[in-house]
Structure 1
């Protein structure tokens, strides 16, 4: 039996409501995975996110959805065990030959943060963790005192560390593993230089609280590679049926089927993340699914969101500024890019503003067609609080 078909039977047994989406068909009547319904946010809102929690399950809650209610995602002991095993194997591979002995998890909340120390323990690493809710000065103190070889963190937090430290090289960090937000290649190269590292020592990973670990960036291949037991598809916005604008020719919405996740109907789960150039590649004689980059998210609540890529905007900013914290927001139908950087100048801001319209065709065309007002790049003075102080802030604000 195909693995996805066995998963279909399992999901139907665990979630009786799922069988109602199949139009009366039995598992053996489906000839391909693509015949199954998509698990969209609307489906999960109706049947999953707000169900009465089983006390035997761990519950992780995320930020509010379009309904205004926080999403609840459930993990069984088996889910947690598999999650830790997958991530331990991945981290062991990424750290091979690095000589790392000490690790600091400087994270947000959620599943990745809560399991980090267990993963480091399995790898035999002396480890500590620090909450993102503490002032940045405490983060600097922890890095200075503990001097970790490995820093496991989020791009936004790393931005704050760089901005608040005199010399990031002084921490003695050997490897940086990222999770949680978009990390454009130019930004990664800038970070490596600021910390005195080779660009290969900054490694981006990609996951979600619903699915778990999804992919990691391979410097050898120059692409993101999906982890084992994950089936990926790319679909267009039309298939979502949510009146979204079409994507670029090489872009698709990532849809995932996890063969190891049990307490989620992880069959054709729609991530709403847009990836570029999704295709299989051969790695060590084995075919693996891969993509070039994650560029944006789409959704019904995002006006123009399917066209505006924070990834592309940050690529332009980081070509001109090595150290910068960036917020992208829509205000009165105009795109505002707020930048806080020790090295920023008004001249750099003017160049960035000019290039944003020229280098990102989608934005330039929207301005030309009067769907979007002119771009405005603003420089924020040192110490001024940026728009929205949340940890996960690499997104489009309104």
Structure 2
């Protein structure tokens, strides 16, 4: 979808709904009617905590509110969507799904949403019905046996889920191909190309039958992965900037040469100040590609997140760890922890043999330079790779389970 507003129109909207933002501009002597994007303040976590997340409850009619983890002050984050914000989000997702589905021969009439809580989950049924599908949803909190039972009875051609839930389904099902799923859309967690290819094979489809989408409650729909171009393509209603870590916060360590922090401006959000919003996601190879005659902003992957509360997480890339492990075992589910200053990687896989553990450990240390440097510099005392029992339940967070645990 095309941007709805010019920058000046968007700033007027943000200042109207968020008067404190106008005060921030005034303090800096910035005229919103003449401002250009690089002049505007970065919308950092500190600014949001000081202004947006501490505001009084909004009372406009028809609002949707989504609550995420608490701020440092202990206040639960309330993120608001106006009816128009919701409409724009649903329209963006529907257009993305429609365009992707049109590229293949599969005929989709039934779709199942099987994911966590939050914005993507709450809007899935509406999006599917707009696309003309018979739709149903399933709570991620149900036992995995219930997920498998529903897939077997409903038999959706399209499954919308999270990578960790898809991992669990593929591991528990006797034959994932038997479900007859033809298309899979994933959201919310890392999904390296090797993982996508391996997962597609387990369901009897090809990698391009998986659509990996990237979004956030704050912004909405952000990007989706193009197998044709091997990059994530940003939504047309989003303008991205790629900043050095020290441009966001001088306390942050220097990133690799091809890595930058993703900063986003949405031209379709009103009840969140999405102007130069710092995602704290580190992307690689930020650039542009020409698609259908138009320049589109892209990046190759989200390698990790940075932030003052992540400690080793500023250097450790779950994307890279998963990519290495998937080279050895294509059915791997993994959980990554920092324990006693050691990097602990716990893998569940029917293909994993005990003799492979040491090989995987060495490969992670040798192929992921940042981890090797931390071990040599004694920031990490080493790597421990262990196997999980087939019936072991790997811990899952309330929404995202592919994350770094401390």
Aligned partner (choices 41, 44, 54) of residue 37 of structure 1: 41
Which of 50, 53, 71 matches 1:49? 53
Match of 1:24 among 29, 45, 58: 29
Q: Secondary structure at the match of 1:28?
A: coil
Label 1:74 to 1:168 Cα distance change in 2 as closer, same or farther (>3 A).
same
Mapped to 1, the partners of 2:300 and 2:211 lie a distance apart of 14
Match of 1:3 in 2: 6
* 8 Å CA contact retained: 2:117, 2:399: no
| Aligned match for 1:64, one of 60, 70, 81 | 70
Query: Contact 1:150 / 1:175 at 8 angstroms: preserved in 2?
Result: yes
- Structure 2 partner of 1:93: 99
Structure 2 distance, partners of 1:271, 1:124, is 33
Q: Which residue of 1 aligns with 2:79?
A: 73
Cα offset, 1:396, TM superposition: 0.9
CA 192–255 in structure 1, closer or farther in 2 if over 3 Å, else same:
same
1:241 and 1:174 map into 2 onto residues whose CA distance is 44
Report the secondary structure of 1:270's partner residue. strand
Give distance in 2, aligned partners of 1:156 and 1:315.
15
Provide the rounded CA distance (Å) in 2 between the counterparts of 1:67 and 1:159.
35
Show the counterpart of 2:325. 317
Q: Shift of residue 151 of structure 1?
A: 0.4
CA distance in 2, matches of 1:242, 1:131: 42
Shift of 1:175: 0.3
Structure 2 unmatched runs, 5+: none
Give the Å deviation of 1:85: 0.9
SS in 2 for 1:191: helix
Question: What is the root-mean-square deviation of aligned Cα atoms in Å?
Answer: 1.5
Contact 1:242–1:300 at 8 Å: present in 2 too?
no
Say whether 1:268 aligns with 2:268: no
SS in 1 for 2:350: coil
> Is residue 188–residue 215 contact of structure 2 (8 Å, CA) maintained in 1?
yes
- 2:8 touches 2:34 (CA, 8 Å); kept in 1? no
Structure 2 CA distance, aligned partners of 1:92 and 1:142?
Answer: 24
SS across alignment from 1:127: strand
Partner residue of 2:88? 82
For residues 248-282 of structure 1, give each alpha carbon's deviation from its aligned partner in whole angstroms, at most 9, with x where no partner exists: 10111100000011101110001111110111111
- 344 and 173 in structure 1: CA distance in 2 versus 1, 3 angstrom threshold: same
Q: Offset at 1:334?
A: 1.1
1:214-247, Cα deviation, whole Å (9 max, x unpaired) = 0011112111111111100011110122511111
Q: Aligned equivalents of 2:162 and 2:40: distance in 1?
A: 34
Structure 1: 5+ residue stretches without partners: none
Local SS of the residue matching 1:139? helix
Match of 1:154 in 2: 162
Measured after TM superposition, the shift of residue 68 of structure 1 is 3.8
Output the TM-score relative to the length of structure 2.
Answer: 0.95
Normalising by structure 1, we get a TM-score of: 0.97
Instruction: Report the Cα offset of residue 192 of structure 1.
Output: 0.5
Matches of 1:323 and 1:283 in 2, distance apart? 33
* Structure-2 residue corresponding to 1:373: 381
State the number of aligned residues: 397
- Matched with 2:195 is 187
**Matched position secondary structure for 2:151:** helix
